[in-house]
Amino acid sequence: MSTDTEGTGFLYPFIDAQERGPDSLLDDLAASAQSKVRESSALQRSTLTDCADLVTQAGTRMAERFAAGGRMYAFGNGGSSTDAATFAALFAQPLTGRPLPAINLAADQAVLTALGNDVGFELVFSRQIIAHSSNRDIAVAMSTSGSSADLMNALGEASRRGLLTIGFAGYDGGQMADASEVDICFVVKSQSIHRIQESQALLGYELWSTVQRHLSSGESAPTPARPTSPSQRDTP
């Protein structure tokens, strides 16, 4: 390389970048990705530790409701809406364990657009709770802010109707963390929407595992259906 080129190289960063090729960028990207994975992994583990008691409590109460014939409604906005759909699918179409009735409230574009257009987006989930739910059911809202109006409205409606209400939030929990309408709130303490969602996915998986274990152990069999003495049994 001539001294002339070296002397003027700073004027042509574009050419310089071309000459160096993408290797240094690719190295930087790989290092950045590895650091983010370590961050997410650590957040998942600290979140599971922080929420261990809540997962047990929520899983037990959910299992009781499923055993009593209840169903679960899961909902969220944007990426969290898809995470709610994955969560619902894990319950309804599990590769192992007992399939349980779980529905993603954002799945039906006719219902979603009808409600959004006619009554306003902040009511797209609460109106469905009104239409579908019974007091044996479970409402699960997934959010990163913890304060979306459509989710808070639905949780409020669900609570008034006797549903078990569960919220997933990030940051400091937002409104979900303080609302009396939310029975159990999982807070992933992070400022990154991506990292929050990654930890919420694992929390959802743990919750599903806990429900499955309760149902397979028989501990959550509904009390009213269980014979209280041998004389009441009508089958051997």
Partner 1 sequence: MSTQAIPADVQAVSGYAGLQPAPASVAGIPPDMLDGGLARDLSDASLALARRFHAGATMWCIAPQWEPHAHHMAVEFVHPVIVGKRALPAFALCAPDVVAQARVSVRPGDIVIAVAAADDRAVRDLMRRTPAWGGLSVWIGSGARPAAGSADHVLWIDDPNPLAPATGRFVIMYHLLWELTHVCFEHPGLLTPPVAECNDEVCVTCSDEGRLAEVILAPSTPFGDALVRTEAGEERIDVTMVAPVTPGDLVLIHAGSALTRLDPEMGR
The footprint of partner 1 (CB under 8 A) covers: 13-18, 21-22, 25-34, 36-38, 40-42, 44-46, 48-50, 52-54, 56-57, 60, 78-79, 81-83, 85-87, 89-90, 94-96, 104, 193-194, 197-202, 204-206, 208-210, 213
Tracing tokens 């008034």 back to the chain, one arrives at: 160
Of the candidates 212, 180, 222, 199, which has an alpha carbon nearest to the alpha carbon of residue 59?
212
How far is Cα 109 from Cα 89, in angstroms, rounded to an integer? Answer: 18
> Phi then psi for 166, rounded to 5 degrees?
-130, 130
Q: Residue 211 CB, nearest distance to partner 1 (Å)?
A: 11
CB of 111 to partner 1, least distance (A): 17
Q: Cα 75 from chain centroid?
A: 8
Q: What is the Cα–Cα distance from 86 to 234, expressed in whole angstroms?
A: 41
**Which residue, 89 or 119, is less far from partner 1 as judged by CB?**
89
Cβ–Cβ < 8 Å for 126, 148: no
Distance from C-alpha of 155 to C-alpha of 116, rounded to nearest angstrom: 17
CA distance 45 to 17: 40
Rounded to a whole number of angstroms, the minimum distance from the CB of residue 107 to partner 1 is: 9
Cα–Cα distance measured from residue 132 to residue 130, given in angstroms and rounded to the nearest whole number:
6
| Cβ count within 10 A of residue 10 | 8
Cβ distance to partner 1 smaller for residue 60 or 147: 60
Pairing between strand 72-76 and 138-142?
Answer: parallel
Rank residues 74 and 154 by Cβ distance to partner 1 and give the closer one: 74
Smallest gap from residue 174 Cβ to partner 1 (A): 16
Q: How far is the CB of 31 from partner 1 (least distance, A)?
A: 8
- Dihedral sign, CA of 36, 38, 42, 44? positive
Cβ proximity to partner 1, 31 vs 114, nearer residue: 31
Q: How far is the CB of 147 from partner 1 (least distance, A)?
A: 16
In the complex, what is the shortest distance from the CB of residue 26 to partner 1, in angstroms, rounded to a whole number? 4
Q: Is the Cβ of residue 89 or residue 114 nearer to partner 1 in the bound state?
A: 89
Nearer to partner 1, 48 or 177 (CB): 48
Chain centre distance of CA 93: 16
Q: Which is nearer to partner 1, 40 or 159 (CB)?
A: 40
